[in-house]
Amino acid sequence: MAAPTAPASPAASRFPTRAWRRCRRRATASPAPRRAASAPASADRPPMNLEQSLIWFGCLIVAVILHEISHGLVALWFGDDTAQRAGRLTLNPVPHIDPFGSIIIPAFGALTGVPVIAWAKPVPVNPAKMREPRRDMLWVGLVGPFSNFVLAITAAFAARALYEGMDTSGIGSFEDLPLLIRIVFSFALVNFFLGIFNLLPIPPLDGSSLLERVLPERYLPGWYRFRPYGMLILFALVFWTGVIDKLFAPVYRNLAQFVFA
Question: What CA dihedral angle connects 172, 176, 150 and 58, to 10 degrees?
Answer: 140
Catalytic one among 51, 68, 132, 212? 68
DSSP state of 102: I
Q: Report the alpha-carbon distance of residue 172 to residue 131 in Å, rounded.
A: 56
- Is 132 in the active site? no
Yes or no: say if 69 and 88 are a contact pair by the CB < 8 Å rule: yes
Yes or no: say if 45 and 103 are a contact pair by the CB < 8 Å rule: no
Nearest to 174 by CA among 251, 256, 249: 256
Nearest to 189 by CA among 112, 260, 98, 86: 260
Contacts of 66 by beta carbon, 8 Å cutoff, 6+ apart: 147, 148, 151
CA 255 centroid distance within chain: 8
Q: What are the φ/ψ torsions at residue 199 (nearest 5 degrees)?
A: -85, -5
Catalytic annotation, residues = 68
